[in-house]
Amino acid sequence: MKRVRIGLALAGSLVLLTGCGSVVTGTPRAEGSYGGSDSQEFANVLQECEAVTDEQIAGAVGADAVGRGFFGAICRWDGIGAAGPIKITFNWFETGTLDHERAAFEHLGYVVAKIDINGSGGYEVRQPADPQSCGVSASAPAGGVFGWWVTEPQGGADPCEAAAKLGALTLNRSI
């Protein structure tokens, strides 16, 4: 019985060891030696966060100033208005579509309404449980889809109005 258990343990170990192996293709490089790529595909990857200036963002949401937060696939700013803190988010999905955005928001249970932003079709999006939050999405002239989301404090400005202003400013810049 002891030999059977040892045999099963060895067989199990052998299966685990052979099942975890893999082949990695490519040219090995020493750690820290990668100097980047010659490709320009992602050369301006964070410039979409510059589509609207900080001063324009502050003016659109009614803040004295805004502070930059996270910049990546989604860009974030924080501001302080007369009623308190304001949260601002911008996104741009290069291969996104308005139909996909609408479907995603509807799937989440948000209220979606068609709007016009500077002659471009778009959507206004509200969270039913949070009347102080609102977003807009529109097609980006350079391709894809962009969106702004604004969360105002209780008693603050209309977040949909602020998000629509930011959308109009973005389209004026033609990202």
Q: Is residue 120 part of a domain?
A: yes
Contacts of 125 (CB under 8 A, 6+ apart): 105, 110, 111, 112, 134, 135, 136, 137, 149
CATH number, domain with residue 141 = 3.40.1000
Q: Is residue 95 part of a domain?
A: yes
Q: Is residue 13 part of a domain?
A: no
Give the predicted TM-score (pTM) of the model. Answer: 0.72
> What is the chain's mean pLDDT, rounded?
81
Confidence bin at 72 (pLDDT 50/70/90):
confident
Q: Is residue 42 part of a domain?
A: no
Listed residue (114, 64, 69, 102) closest to 88, CA to CA? 69
Q: Is residue 91 part of a domain?
A: yes
Give the SS3 label for residue 66. Answer: strand
**What tokens does 150 get?**
């604004």
Q: Is residue 14 part of a domain?
A: no
Listed residue (98, 48, 44) closest to 75, CA to CA? 48
Q: What is the tally of structural domains in the chain?
A: 1
Q: Is residue 155 part of a domain?
A: yes
The whole domain housing 114 covers 50-173
Listed residue (101, 166, 171) closest to 141, CA to CA? 171
Q: What is the pLDDT of residues 94-152, one digit of tens each?
A: 889 999 999 999 999 999 999 999 888 899 999 999 999 999 999 987 788 999 999 99
Q: Is residue 37 part of a domain?
A: no
